[in-house]
Amino acid sequence: MKKVIFLCAIAVLAFSACQQGPVRYTQDSPEINTVKKLISNYNSKTYDTSMYADTSKTYYNTINNPMSPSEAMDYHKQSDQNYASRGFGGDNMEYEMVVTDDGETWVNCWLGWKGTLAANNKDIYIPIHLTYQFVDGKIVREHGYWDPSEIVMELQKIEAEAKMAEEEMEPME
């Protein structure tokens, strides 16, 4: 009888040791699917804020001055004026969802962005990291990090060339 109780106790311990806690890391989740939909919307210029909580805050290359979901969409619309085409793509798109020690749910993604400037047809490629915090299936915080230097320099060059051409066209007094 002691052996049976001992074996049952061992079986219970072994079974409980095999039980896994909640998933803390995955590459397949509803939240990741939401981010993929958001990326698809960006690529198709569909400016939908339905996946964001009303109080969501978006930070692009900053830790200050967050944007609301509608302000973030306006930011994209305004930026789109500079490009003949733009979007995320390629083979190196990676997504992961993590649950932090504090119980926060975040989706991280590493993407390649390519844009063609409308003014001179120059192609620019930029690696981008985006991270989204979710609460109850909605995005409550978004952070985006990338190096915009090449775009900024190219737009400044285009502007300087346009100004020089304009000055050359002005009649001399």
**26: three-class secondary structure by DSSP:** strand
3-state secondary structure of 118: coil
Residue 15 has pLDDT above 70, yes or no: no
H or E element that contains 109: strand 105-117
Provide the β-strand partners of residue 133. 106, 141
Task: Give the model's pLDDT for residue 5.
Answer: 61
**14 pLDDT band (50/70/90 cuts)?**
low
Residue predicted with more confidence, 109 or 23? 109
Is residue 121's pLDDT more than 80?
A: yes
pTM confidence score: 0.81
Structure tokens at 5: 């109780």
Q: How far apart are CA 134 and CA 149, in angstroms?
A: 30
Q: How far apart are CA 43 and CA 125, in angstroms?
A: 15
Does the pLDDT at position 115 exceed 80? yes
CATH topology of domain 22-169: Nuclear Transport Factor 2; Chain: A, (3.10.450)
CA dist 69 and 75 (Å) reads 10
Among 2-11, 68-77, 150-159, name the most confident range: 68-77
Q: Report yes or no: 112 and 90 within 8 Å, Cβ to Cβ.
A: yes
Q: Is 137 helix (H, G, I), strand (E, B) or coil?
A: coil
- Domain locations in the chain as residue ranges: 22-169
